[in-house]
Amino acid sequence: MTCDLFLPQLTADNSYTFYCQEFGETFHSQQGAKTEAEHKFVAPTRLNIKAHQPVVRILDICYGLGYNTAAALATIWAVNPDCLVEVIALESNADIPNSAINHNLLDSWEPNIRQVLTLLASNHQVKTAQCQGTLLLGDARQTIKLISSSFTADAIFLDPFSPPKCPQLWTVEFINLVAKCLNDEGILATYSAAAAVRTALQAAGLYIGNTISLGRRSPSTIATKYKLPPLSTIGQEHLLTRAAIPYRDPTLQDDTEVILHRRQQEQQTSLLEPTARWHRRTRRSFKKDP
C-alpha cells in the first residue's frame, strides 16, 4: 500500500494535506487538515487531561504526514512540558512523512515538535527528554503484531483511508489486535462512523460512542474498555442493518477485492434489514416527528 505521488493541497484552515493517487483520497478532510487532527483525534482522546500524567503513550495508526502526533504533542506539552510522551507510529510508506517535512508542512508547530517528527521520518526513532518514539514501517496488519502484547496506549489514533478504499485496516481481525494495545482507561479515536467499523470495535470488546462532527453530517467515533453513554436510537438501529456487517480478513493477508467481496456475499445472505430500507424508514420518521 503505497502512494505514488504526493500533491500538497490547501485545506480550509490554511494547513496542507496530500492527495493519494492510489486510494483516490486526500489524507485529511478539506475542512482543515490540522483542525481534523486536533478535533477528531486529540480532543476526543482527552490528552489535555492525560497530560497531567508523568508518561503518556500514543499509538498512531496510519501516521501519514504526522499531523495527529504533532497535534497530540502540542496539546500535551502545553499542559505539562515535563510529560514524557511515548509514541509508536505505524505507516506503510516512509516517503509520506519525509515528503511532509520536505514540503515544510509542519512549520506551524513548535520547533521541538518539528524536531521529533523530523527524527521519526528520517531515522524512524527518536529519543529526547520529552519524547521516545518509533516509526514502524510496513503493512500495519503485520507491524501491529510486534506491539500488541507489549504496548498499551492511553490514546490510539485509527486513521486509515476510508473503509471502501482500504478495508484491510478496518477488519474485525485487525481491530481486535488494535484493541489489545488500548489500556483500561485509554481512548481510541477514529474519524469513521461507519456501522461496519463500529461493529468491529464492539466485536473487539470495546464500548463505542459519538464524538463531534467536523465537516460531515455523521459524528466521529470513540471506543473504550469502559462504558460510554449509549448511542442515539438511530445510531443503535444503524448497527442492526446490513451496513453493520463488518469487514473480515481471517489471515490478515487478503487484498482489497477479496475483503470487499467477502463482505458483499455476507450482506447478500444476511437476515438483517437492508440499509436502504432503513434509510427510507428513518427519513419518513423524521418527517412525521421533526
More confident residue, 110 or 284: 110
What does the pLDDT look like over 116-145, one tens digit per residue? 999 999 999 999 999 999 999 999 999 999
Q: Which pLDDT does position 11 carry in this prediction? A: 93
| Structural contact between residues 241 and 278, judged by C-beta atoms closer than 8 angstroms | yes
Confidence band (pLDDT; 50, 70, 90) for 29? confident
Q: Can you spell out the DSSP letters for 234-260?
A: HHHHHTTBGGGPPB--TTS---HHHHH
C-alpha 76/C-alpha 42 separation (Å) is: 9
C-alpha cell at 255: 487484498
Q: Which pLDDT does position 284 carry in this prediction? A: 53
C-alpha 97/C-alpha 92 separation (Å) is: 10
pLDDT at 212 over 80: no
Question: Which of 142, 126, 172 lies closest to 61, judged by CA?
Answer: 142
* Amino acid at the residue 278: W
Q: Which pLDDT does position 136 carry in this prediction? A: 98
Domain boundaries defined on the chain: 30-232
Confidence band (pLDDT; 50, 70, 90) for 218? low
pLDDT at 4 over 70: no
Ranges 248-252, 273-277, 284-288, most confident: 248-252
C-alpha 46/C-alpha 186 separation (Å) is: 9
pLDDT at 1 over 60: no
Q: Which pLDDT does position 217 carry in this prediction? A: 58
Q: What is the mean pLDDT of residues 207-227?
A: 84
Q: Which pLDDT does position 280 carry in this prediction? A: 86
C-alpha 153/C-alpha 92 separation (Å) is: 20
Strands 131-137, 153-158: pairing kind: unpaired
pLDDT at 91 over 80: yes
3-state helix, strand, coil in the chain (%, to 5): 40, 20, 40
Cβ-Cβ contacts under 8 Å for 156 (sequence gap 6 or more): 45, 58, 59, 61, 178, 181, 182, 186, 187, 188, 189
Q: Which pLDDT does position 31 carry in this prediction? A: 85
Confidence band (pLDDT; 50, 70, 90) for 216? low
Please give the CATH topology (third level) of the domain spanning 30-232: Rossmann fold (3.40.50)
pLDDT at 214 over 70: no
Strand (E) or helix (H) holding 266: helix 256-268
Ranges 17-21, 22-26, 199-203, most confident: 199-203
The pTM score is: 0.94
* Amino acid at the residue 215: G
Strands 125-127, 55-61: pairing kind: unpaired
Strand (E) or helix (H) holding 20: strand 16-20
Question: Which of 159, 170, 156, 166 lies closest to 244, judged by CA?
Answer: 170
Return the DSSP state at 11.
-
Place of cell 514502524: 136
Q: Which long-range contacts (CB under 8 A, 24 or more apart) does 236-239 make?
A: 237/278, 237/282, 238/195, 238/278, 239/195, 239/198, 239/199, 239/202
C-alpha 127/C-alpha 45 separation (Å) is: 24
Mean pLDDT for the chain overall: 92
Confidence band (pLDDT; 50, 70, 90) for 289? very low
Instruction: Collapse the DSSP code of 72 into the 3-class scheme (helix H, G, I; strand E, B; otherwise coil) and give the result.
Output: helix
Strand (E) or helix (H) holding 186: strand 182-190
Q: Which pLDDT does position 6 carry in this prediction? A: 74
